[in-house]
Amino acid sequence: MYRPVFVTLLTSRFFGADALGLVSICIAILSFASVFGKLGLDVALMKYVAEFAGKNDFASIKSVYISAMKIILPVSFLISSVLFFLSGYFATNILHKPYLEELLKVNAWLTLPLVLILVNSECIRGLKKIRSYTFFQTVSVSLMALVLLIIMSFFYSAREIPTYIQFLSIAFTGLLSLMMWFYYSKFFKEKSANEFPVSTLMRTSSSMFFTTLMQLIMSWAGTLIMAAYNSEADVGVYNALVRISVFTNITILAINSLAMPRFAEAFALGKLDVLKKLSKEVSRLIFITSIPAFILLTIFPKWILSIFGKEFPGNETALYVLLAGQFIVAITGLPSQILNMTGRQHILRNIAFFSAIVNVVACVILVPLYGIMGTCIAQFAGIFAWNLLSILSVKNHFGFFTFFNPFAKNN
In 3D space, the residue among 362, 384, 98 whose CA is nearest the CA of residue 225 turns out to be 362
Inform me whether the pLDDT recorded for 375 exceeds 80: yes
Q: Which residues contact 153 (CB under 8 A, 6 or more apart)?
A: 10, 14, 15
Contact 26, 103 (CB under 8 A): yes
| pLDDT tens for each residue of 349-367 | 889 899 999 999 999 999 9
Give pLDDT, residue 133.
84
Inform me whether the pLDDT recorded for 394 exceeds 80: yes
What are the distances in angstroms from CA 46 to CA 9, 41, 149? 33, 8, 33
Angle at 137 between CA 258 and CA 239, to 5 degrees: 110
Tell me which of 191 and 351 has the higher pLDDT.
351
Residue 170 banded pLDDT, cuts 50, 70, 90: very high
Query: Rounded to whole angstroms, how far apart are CA atoms 45 and 35?
Result: 15
b/e per residue 94-106 (b: at least 16 CB within 10 A): ebebeebeebbbe
Per-domain residue ranges for the chain?
5-196, 226-398
Give pLDDT, residue 407.
66
Least confident range of 7-11, 74-78, 179-183: 7-11
Inform me whether the pLDDT recorded for 411 exceeds 60: no
Inform me whether the pLDDT recorded for 260 exceeds 80: no
Give pLDDT, residue 115.
95
Cα dihedral 209, 214, 220, 223, rounded to 10, equals 140
pLDDT above 70 covers a percentage of the chain that reads 96
Query: Rounded to whole angstroms, how far apart are CA atoms 16 and 240?
Result: 11
Contact 140, 111 (CB under 8 A): no
Inform me whether the pLDDT recorded for 273 exceeds 60: yes
Inform me whether the pLDDT recorded for 345 exceeds 70: yes
Instruction: Specify the DSSP element, H or E, that contains 240.
Output: helix 232-246
Contact 303, 228 (CB under 8 A): no
Residue 79 banded pLDDT, cuts 50, 70, 90: very high
Query: Rounded to whole angstroms, how far apart are CA atoms 327 and 134?
Result: 24
Number of Cα atoms under 13 Å in the Cβ half of residue 267: 18
Query: Rounded to whole angstroms, how far apart are CA atoms 17 and 8?
Result: 9
Tell me which of 86 and 202 has the higher pLDDT.
86
In 3D space, the residue among 169, 136, 135, 170 whose CA is nearest the CA of residue 151 turns out to be 169
User: What is the Cα gyration radius of the chain?
Assistant: 21
Give pLDDT, residue 408.
64
Give pLDDT, residue 279.
86
Least confident range of 20-29, 33-42, 65-74, 332-341: 332-341
